[in-house]
Amino acid sequence: MEIRKGVAVSPGISIGKCLVIDAEDYRIPRRAIQPTQRLTETQRVRNAFKDAIEELEKLQAGQKELKVRDIFAVHLSFLKDRSLRKKITDMVHDESVTAEYAVSKTLRDIASHFATQKDGYIRERAADIYDIERRVLKYLVGEVEQEIRDLTEEVVIVARELSPTQTAGFNKEYVKGLASGAGGRTSHTAIVARSLGIPAVVALEDITESVTGGDTVIIDGNRGIVIVNPDDATIQQYLEYAVEFAEMEHRLDLIKEKPAETRDGVKVSLYGNIEFPDEAELVLKRGGEGIGLYRSEFLFLNRDTEPTEQEHYEAYARTVSFFKSKPVTIRTVDLGADKYTQARRYIREPNPFLGLRSIRYCLQNLTMFKAQLHAILRASVLGQVKVMFPLITNLQELMQAKMILGDVMEDLDDEGIKYNRNMEVGIMIETPAAALTASMLARDASFFSIGTNDLTQYTLAVDRGNELVSTLYSSVDPAVLRLIRTVIQDAYKARVDVTICGEMASEPEQVMLLLGLGIRKLSIASPMIPEIKQIVRSVTIEECNKVARKVLSMNSERQISSFLRDSARKILPEAF
Ligand code: PEP
Ligand code: MG
Question: Which tens digit of pLDDT belongs to each residue from 166-208?
Answer: 888 888 899 999 999 988 888 888 988 988 889 999 999 889 9
Mean pLDDT across 506-521: 96
* Model confidence at 575: pLDDT above 80: no
Average pLDDT, rounded, for the chain: 92
Residue nearest atom 8 of ligand 1, based on CA coordinates: 453
The H or E element spanning position 117 is none
34 vs 366: which has the higher pLDDT? 366
CA 261 to centroid of ligand 1, rounded, Å: 26
The C-alpha atoms of residue 428 and residue 329 are separated, in whole angstroms, by 11
Band the pLDDT of 535: cuts 50, 70, 90. very high
Choose among 226, 208, 217, 225: nearest CA to 17: 217
Q: Is 42 in the pocket of ligand 1 (CB under 6 A)?
A: no
Mean pLDDT across 51-79: 89
Query: The pTM is what?
Result: 0.82
The C-alpha atoms of residue 220 and residue 11 are separated, in whole angstroms, by 8
Mean pLDDT across 64-78: 87
Residue nearest atom 3 of ligand 1, based on CA coordinates: 451
The C-alpha atoms of residue 260 and residue 252 are separated, in whole angstroms, by 13
Q: Is 336 in the pocket of ligand 1 (CB under 6 A)?
A: no
Band the pLDDT of 254: cuts 50, 70, 90. confident
CB 441 within 8 A of CB 395: yes
Q: Is 501 in the pocket of ligand 1 (CB under 6 A)?
A: yes
* Model confidence at 404: pLDDT above 90: yes
Q: Is 442 in the pocket of ligand 1 (CB under 6 A)?
A: no
Closest ligand 1 atom to 293 CA: 5
Closest ligand 1 atom to 337 CA: 10
**CB proximity list for 494: less than 8 A, separation 6 or greater:** 439, 442, 443
Band the pLDDT of 532: cuts 50, 70, 90. very high
Mutate to test the pocket of ligand 1, among 334, 338, 358, 361 (most ligand atoms within 8 A of CB): 334
CB 426 within 8 A of CB 446: yes
Mean pLDDT across 475-481: 98
- For residue 214, the model assigns a pLDDT of 87
Closest ligand 1 atom to 430 CA: 2
CB 408 within 8 A of CB 370: yes
* Model confidence at 54: pLDDT above 90: yes
Closest ligand 1 atom to 186 CA: 8
* Model confidence at 78: pLDDT above 80: yes
Mean pLDDT across 199-224: 91
CB 216 within 8 A of CB 233: no
Q: Is 454 in the pocket of ligand 1 (CB under 6 A)?
A: yes
Q: Is 453 in the pocket of ligand 1 (CB under 6 A)?
A: yes
Mean pLDDT across 427-443: 98
Residue 526: burial class (beta carbons within 10 Å; 0-12, 13-18, 19+): buried
Phi/psi-derived region of residue 420, left when phi > 0, alpha when psi is between -120 and 50, beta in every other case: beta
CA 74 to centroid of ligand 2, rounded, Å: 44
The H or E element spanning position 280 is helix 279-285
Residues labelled catalytic = 188, 501
| pLDDT tens per residue, range 143-157 | 888 888 888 899 999
CA 452 to centroid of ligand 1, rounded, Å: 7
- For residue 345, the model assigns a pLDDT of 65
DSSP-assigned letters across all residues of 525-549: EGGGHHHHHHHHHH--HHHHHHHHH
Q: Is 502 in the pocket of ligand 1 (CB under 6 A)?
A: yes
| pLDDT tens per residue, range 82-98 | 999 999 999 999 999 99
Choose among 179, 174, 149, 140: nearest CA to 161: 179
Phi/psi-derived region of residue 281, left when phi > 0, alpha when psi is between -120 and 50, beta in every other case: alpha
Percent of the chain with pLDDT over 90: 70
- In the chain, the domains with their CATH numbers are 2-226 (3.50.30.10), 258-575 (3.20.20.60)
Residue nearest atom 9 of ligand 1, based on CA coordinates: 295
Rounded (5°) CA angle 542-547-550: 125
- For residue 123, the model assigns a pLDDT of 85
* Model confidence at 256: pLDDT above 90: no
Mean pLDDT across 221-231: 93
397 vs 469: which has the higher pLDDT? 397
Band the pLDDT of 324: cuts 50, 70, 90. confident
Band the pLDDT of 125: cuts 50, 70, 90. confident
- For residue 576, the model assigns a pLDDT of 65
The C-alpha atoms of residue 302 and residue 574 are separated, in whole angstroms, by 40
Choose among 251, 183, 277: nearest CA to 221: 183
- Please report which ligand is nearest the Cα atom of 449: 1
- For residue 430, the model assigns a pLDDT of 98
Rounded (5°) CA angle 272-533-189: 40
Band the pLDDT of 343: cuts 50, 70, 90. low
> Can you say whether the dihedral through the CA atoms of 273, 277, 281, 284 is positive or negative?
positive
